[in-house]
Amino acid sequence: MRDVAVIGVGMQKWGELWAKSTRDIFVESALLAMDDAGVDTLGAMYVGSMAPGLFADQEHLGSVMADYLGQKLIPSTRVESACASGGLAFRLACMDVASGMHDVVLAGGVEKMTDIGGGDATHALASAADMKWEAVHGVTFPGLYAMMAVAHMAKYGTTREQLAHVAVKNHYNGSMNSRAQFPMKITVEGVINSVKVADPLNILDCSPITDGAAAAIVVPADMVKDFKKAGVKVIGTGHATDTIALHDREDLTTLAAVSASAEQAYKMSGKGPRDLDFVEVHDCFTIAEIIVSESLGLFERGKGGPAAEAGDTGLEGRTPINPSGGLKSKGHPVGATGVAQIVEITEQLRGEAGKRQIKNARVALAQNMGGSGGSSVVHILEVM
């Protein structure tokens, strides 16, 4: 197996992109990544997208995107793992290059979520949960994560204020990210007093509905010298699944798929939680960031909330989480989120993150999750 590196990334501003189609926003990000890498021809591509048929009436994205990118006749595959679709697309691109099948592979992700009404969007997102036993009975994702939050509060004493600190920190980071959907600062009081969605979660605890795309170019590590920018090596990857329904899990306060996928990536990379200079995690809700941080081994069980409140997860904390602003501020076009994490990590490790740059960053982790933890993908990257 060959070592793999990222040598180009691309992403445009996310938000409500009314004037652009799914193919428009994907091709824009793909072209940015190809220009960043200095390539004009691909060997293959993988397109992460959760529900383009429900959101935008367009399936068969492998063919559509290769065509509109001017890369016809190459193998192009649409990848789905709910909100982890982008992360899985990146993993498959890495596996493709590592196997020796192709030398230059694009991993992309895209979702156009705002062309349908709120009810239809809720239905589309609910298809990532257990439709038969959860969604049909009215339990959509805010309700599922609210149950996880209540369980975590009861077991560990996690507070409403600690949840709010996660949102405040991520919006602070996002305020320095020109591509973020909501790049504004917020306050703990503002989060706590915002509109209730599913007790104890308020609207400012929840990631938004977003249009957006992101892309990364993956090549063999020994070819990096042939490209115009420094490469970032992919040293570990992991993928795991769990029961899709919460009622089948032994413990609602942890995420077994996250832990399993992380253990695979740690073992492959030879790194552990204490070796990471920062992480990008799947903060679809504030409680998700706290539970994920514990499931990754960054903090002991029950200590993720206090760590957020103490500032340990801030840009200058001992374990910075989501310097990009995360899903909460940057946005969450579900199929693109996992690739956007790779964009942030690549730019951080190349020293290109501007005001939110993590000092002396050399090793970082990306964790992307489907549904309420029914799937999880983890990657560890390092400066070459």
**Cα distances (angstroms) measured from residue 118 to each of 24, 159, 191, 207, 374:** 23, 30, 22, 14, 24
The total of other beta-carbon atoms located within 10 Å of residue 18's CB is 8
Q: Catalytic: which of 152, 171, 282, 332?
A: 332
Q: Please state, in angstroms and rounded to a whole number, the distance separating the CA atoms of residues 192 and 180.
A: 22
The values of phi and psi at residue 225, to 5°, are -60, -20
Nearest to 255 by CA among 267, 273, 243, 270: 243
Catalytic site residue 83? Answer: yes
Q: Please state, in angstroms and rounded to a whole number, the distance separating the CA atoms of residues 338 and 85.
A: 7
Q: Please state, in angstroms and rounded to a whole number, the distance separating the CA atoms of residues 4 and 99.
A: 10
Place of tokens 């790194």: 271
Nearest to 370 by CA among 78, 86, 56: 86
CA quadruple 245, 326, 109, 203: dihedral sign: positive
Q: Catalytic: which of 83, 94, 206, 284?
A: 83
Residue 368, token pair as written in the block:
């992307």
Q: Please state, in angstroms and rounded to a whole number, the distance separating the CA atoms of residues 81 and 370.
A: 6
The total of other beta-carbon atoms located within 10 Å of residue 298's CB is 23
Q: Could you give the angle at the alpha carbon of 209 between the alpha carbons of 204 and 213, nearest 5°? A: 125
Residue 91 · residue 100 · CB < 8 Å: no
Report the DSSP beta bridge partners of residue 312. none
Q: Please identify every residue annotated as catalytic.
A: 83, 332
